[in-house]
């Protein structure tokens, strides 16, 4: 198998492979970057073999160097407001799916959203992510007003209006275009899995084809577009992950969130094993090689399952922080997690300290 111009021995020849890496002639960052430019990650099978390596250290280092070369040492902090947990869909891994009667549903008011965004912007966040379930109450017109409110939070900083990212699910092309006109800059819509049959099993109310069409629409109407997927979904193989990564590349995603699946006891996938954090890190590293200039967040699910690991040494350059008010935060339960009380200013300072602790530059 050829990767970045290097022949990688297959997983069953671990000894030879380790010797190969020890003897690898890559000595400088420049040489490594040159090698990176030749990498071949053309098929799901290529990627599956890479993901299956016993020792992934060399690939992690390549990914980190590519991140450094293309994105620098900055870690971008995003404030995320989860403004509605009402959802009309039934994704079977998600605690917000409409069949779950065990959570209390909420919708933040327009003023609450604006006030939360104002606090985030005053605390120094430059990007506000507005996320919700697929909630028909928030029509494009209502969402457009909210986007306008947040974009108007100019004047707290000398950096101009905040960047607004929406993550509100599948809408029509016209609705996406309308929200773009109202000022939305970016849109996140994870494809979750690029395997058609697996997608259908996980999403009784949707089709992979429609999701991909939405992502294409988002690109065409001018959004900085993000997708992403989960690691460790029941029925997923390493080749599926390869397909997922190649789909990100095919769509030329500017952002990609890749995190481990966490089983939610209030869903049909209760009791399933959580996804591997190691595999999630490997997938992020390969995403960095495939999309050198993409914004790749450390996903919340990865941070929850592996809180002690360095979140920034495998290609990621973005981190999101919930600023959702406490009365709603617990109810936005896609998967179970414990959160401390929100204090937007203090939380941001702690995040900055964490980023600096790992020798990276918070922004
Ligand atoms: S993943 Fe999104 S669309 Fe699916 S049930 Fe959860 S909130 Fe709704």
The answer to whether 310 touches 358, Cβ cutoff 8 Å, is yes
DSSP state of 104: -
Burial 105-116 (b: 16+ CB within 10 A, else e): ebbbeeebbbeb
For position 30, what pLDDT does the model report? 53
What's the whole-number mean pLDDT along residues 247-254? Answer: 96
With the most atoms of ligand 1 within 8 angstroms of its CB, the residue from 80, 83, 88, 89 to mutate is 89
Least confident piece of the model among 108-117, 193-202, 328-337: 328-337
pTM as predicted: 0.88
pLDDT at 292: 96
Instruction: Say how many Å lie between the CA of residue 339 and the centre of ligand 1.
Output: 20
Average pLDDT over the chain reads 88
User: Would you state the pLDDT for residue 37?
Assistant: 53
For 82-124, write each residue's pLDDT tens digit: 999 999 999 999 999 999 999 999 999 999 999 999 999 999 9
Which pLDDT score is estimated for 15? 33
Residue ranges covered by each domain of the chain: 2-67, 73-362
Nearest to 146 by CA among 83, 78, 221: 83
Among the listed ranges 5-9, 65-69, 279-283, which one has the minimum average pLDDT value? 5-9
Which phi and psi (to 5°) does residue 157 adopt?
A: -135, 165
Structure confidence at residue 3 (pLDDT)? 44
State yes or no: pLDDT of 157 exceeds 80: no
Residue 134 beta carbon below 6 angstroms from any ligand 1 atom: yes
* For residue 20, pLDDT beyond 60: no
Instruction: Determine whether 131 is exposed, middle or buried from the number of CB atoms within 10 Å of its CB (0-12, 13-18, 19+).
Output: buried
Give distance in angstroms: CA of 90 to centre of ligand 1: 7
CA distances from 185 to 152, 167, 224, 281, 350 (A): 14, 11, 6, 27, 27
Domain at 73-362, CATH class: alpha beta
The confidence score (pLDDT) of residue 155 equals 66
Least confident of 24-33, 61-70, 131-140, 142-151: 24-33
Instruction: Give the Å distance between the CA of 102 and the centre of ligand 1.
Output: 15
Minimum CA distance residue for ligand 1 atom 2: 133
CA distance 296 to 220: 21
């Amino acid at each position: 198998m050829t990767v970045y111009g290097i022949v990688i021995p297959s997983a069953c020849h671990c000894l030879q492979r380790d010797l190969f890496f020890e003897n690898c002639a890559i000595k400088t960052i420049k040489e490594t970057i040159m090698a990176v430019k030749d990498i071949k990650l053309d098929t799901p099978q290529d990627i599956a073999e890479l993901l299956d390596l016993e020792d992934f250290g060399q690939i992690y280092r390549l990914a980190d160097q590519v991140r450094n070369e293309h994105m620098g040492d900055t870690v971008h902090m995003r404030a995320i407001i989860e403004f509605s947990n009402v959802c009309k869909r039934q994704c079977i891994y998600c605690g917000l799916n409409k069949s779950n009667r065990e959570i209390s549903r909420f919708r933040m008011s327009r003023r609450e959203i604006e006030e939360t965004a104002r606090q985030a912007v005053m605390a120094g966040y430059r990007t506000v992510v507005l996320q919700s379930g697929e909630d028909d109450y928030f029509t494009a017109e209502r969402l457009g007003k909210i986007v306008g409110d947040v974009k108007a939070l100019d004047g707290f900083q000398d950096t101009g209006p905040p960047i607004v990212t929406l993550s509100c699910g599948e809408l029509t092309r016209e609705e996406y275009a309308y929200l773009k006109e109202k000022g939305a800059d970016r849109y996140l819509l994870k494809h979750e899995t690029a395997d058609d049959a697996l997608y259908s099993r996980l999403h009784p109310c949707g089709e992979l084809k429609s999701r991909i069409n939405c992502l294409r629409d988002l690109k065409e109407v001018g959004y900085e577009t993000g997708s992403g997927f989960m690691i460790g979904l029941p029925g997923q193989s390493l080749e599926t992950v390869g397909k997922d990564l190649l789909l990100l590349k095919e769509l030329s995603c500017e952002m990609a969130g890749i995190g481990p699946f966490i089983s939610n006891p209030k869903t049909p996938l209760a009791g399933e094993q959580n996804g591997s954090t190691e595999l999630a890190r490997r997938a992020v590293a390969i995403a960095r090689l495939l999309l050198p200039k993409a914004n790749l967040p450390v996903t919340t699910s990865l941070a929850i399952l592996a809180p002690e690991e360095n979140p920034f040494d495998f290609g990621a350059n973005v981190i999101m922080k919930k600023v959702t008010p406490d009365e709603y935060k617990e109810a936005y339960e896609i998967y179970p997690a414990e959160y401390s009380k929100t204090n937007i200013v203090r939380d941001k300072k702690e995040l900055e300290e964490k980023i600096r602790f790992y020798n990276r530059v918070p922004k």
